[in-house]
Amino acid sequence: MDIILKYFDDFTPVQLQQMQALSGLYQEWNEKINVISRKDIESLYEKHVLHSLSIAAAHSFADGTQVLDLGTGGGFPGIPLAIFFPDVQFHLVDSIGKKIKVVQEVAAALGLQNVTTAHSRVEEIKNRKFDFVVSRAVAPLQDLWRWSKPLVKSSNRAIHDPTMVRPGLICLKGGDLHEEISLSGTRPALTHIYDLFPEEYFKEKYMVYVKN
């Protein structure tokens, strides 16, 4: 938890309590349903929570914004972002039922009123639009954008605020992305997460933002 407080110091008492509760909740559920690798559970706050919060460090979501977490796995980046943005609505989706079960239980234990979940493939989401799709190392950018584009609004009410970004896809990726970006046919904005959080783990981690 110390590494979170190293970079964020403006949590409310409720947010602080929720952040602190993540470790125990994920350790408990990981023993029942393995959603985080055994070696990573000890560094949950750096490799999962802080990594997820890199989106919050780079982008500000207006109250009422609708965000889809595509392939949320155990709830990343959606759960940490839902704690950070209590007035933003997050819909966490994964095709693996046992992972969504963990997400539902963690969200309920934390008292997160701004989280909904679905055991579903992203292609099955119909008649809904979101301001943003977020994702973490789920699939190649080409596929992520193909799945996301139909679900992203063409504009949002925050668009005229210079501090807000246009609707689109924000995904967290690692390694050399040149070929992946080229194959995707997109022209994303890249943020080196090491510039936000100068920790060894983030040296080859990037945030990729494709606007609609």
Which residues does the annotation place in the binding site for S-adenosyl-L-methionine? 71, 76, 122-123, 136
Cis ω before 77 (30° cut-off from 0): yes
Q: Which residues contact 24 (CB under 8 A, 6 or more apart)?
A: none
Backbone angles phi and psi of 61, in degrees to 5 = -100, 130
User: Using CA atoms, how far apart are residues 93 and 62, in angstroms rounded to an integer?
Assistant: 21
Name the nearest CA neighbour of 188 among 126, 140, 122: 140
Q: Which residues contact 189 (CB under 8 A, 6 or more apart)?
A: 208, 209, 211
Alpha carbon 8 to its chain's center: 17
Beta bridge partners of 66: 89
Residue 152 DSSP code: B
